[in-house]
Structure 1
């Protein structure tokens, strides 16, 4: 922006100093085009230096390629930005500059240049956001057309290491929470077996999402029942700031879980290729990154009512056993924050936005959680 304005101001100064140097139409063309043209020159210069730097800093153990190879790789990194610049920002900038010269000719050209640049940037950003959101909506629509059900809810998650002391506190908080929020308590413990499958693009329109195969062993009916499903869960986390000063912060994840029950599956599918629903299998194979996967198993106790769900999961990783405490609410975020506040006051927990796969991989640490107590 500053470079464009400087170039325009310098050129405008020359034209005012030497008014007969070129015709008026040529002046207009040059003032409009100088910014985008010189900007492209300066776009390539940093990438050349980046490529040369990568060439010089390659370790001796790696066979060096020619400098042009590394410069080509550097240009690839900025190709998307250059494309947006040429196709969107530059036309908007040129039109804004032309309109500014015609409508407000007495305004300094450097000021029109700045306004045109900011207008172009703003519209490009809005367009990029709109396209990403359209991509997400298209993915949602595809899942719905494949017969996936959907659950929309808000979630808060906490983690705490399992010790004899915290085990007693967990029992206390379970009783306290059930009583305070009038939840329907359950003594049943359900075992979950999840298989996480990597995705080609694990983020869309500001939402992280995961793909998993889930097997739930439910003993609550008195006899073992297995519920098998394939799930895609979209997550977007926000810090719910409050106007009044608070001792704690509230990180709430908005989640949309798309799920497809797997009917007739005698055993848990080992991979997407084992799914019997051909249209679902074909679509999911198109978005998975590789045939690799990661398994986690955890046990869950839960209590709920129509507005709030409270769960305590027990999960193991390489560092020990941990409790993952979750609150879920379908609509009422204020109720969710009340439950979070109650928990953070009475338990030495860490609030986290990581999923269970991260925690099961031994990713649990104070640095990976938001300290809330």
Structure 2
């Protein structure tokens, strides 16, 4: 187990691990984590690279006799993460570092133990350097843990579904936090004429639900589903901030598109191996349960219970103060009046609680040109 933790760090050797870890608890300080190992473990897209990860203090609690049922608990004080966007996609992610360290290739005991780990972080700061802007994300009181397919806490053995017929395994994790602060500002240069128009957003409680599907034989991620969930969101933007946000998104889209083209340029055999496995054998209850919660393809979701967005003119100091009676609002404020651009009153429309007021979906299809064989 000690070798697994050493694998994730740059400045830690087995002899530095406190002997009390053998008793199920220990503490470490001033840890520099291995960026490439984390990239592979998190399966980050190739348009984004981790350049530095630092933690000032860490504590761990292990129930050695209950590794199959109870998670290892990792407590971190302050974590600093630095990332950059890649104008040209970096090399694709490598194999699972957990499986390699454990001397195996398949999804086995070591992978289950580390993936089921529970993590508590007092504060984490993520800084992202992009071509046209730099941004920071600060989260406080973050907690990540494995859950069962119904997003409930349970025995670790119930937080994964393995279907031998498919040779795939599903795992479910949730990350929640008390406060999230986002800031972004333009980088002034000869290439970019954007004036400095900082964007700021502070939200309260939120959570991120992650469902992963891996291949058992090599632990590679086949598909994932990410759900970013916020209860209430109030955001006031000036027109210049809105324009800056559009420019930031455009600069990111170029890098994301190059990364997508990199994926499409893979040889047909690699693309074929990423396709969903075809089950073989007789269906059983496990296969049916797997099918019920299967992640068919990678997707990203943002769910907001109530969104109150105000857009005002920079020359006006007045921002509308309108009572919120609808689920989702988009407002535009100017000198004369405030009017709702899009609104939805759930009460008058008698919408059920499980039906969203607004639903937007974007799907991209890619059909590789495989050689056609004559019948």
TM bracket (short chain): under 0.3
More strand per residue: 1 or 2? 2
Bigger relative CO (Cα 8 Å, ≥ 6 apart)? 1
TM-score scaled by length of structure 1? 0.20
Q: Whose radius of gyration is greater, 1 or 2?
A: 1
More helix per residue: 1 or 2? 1
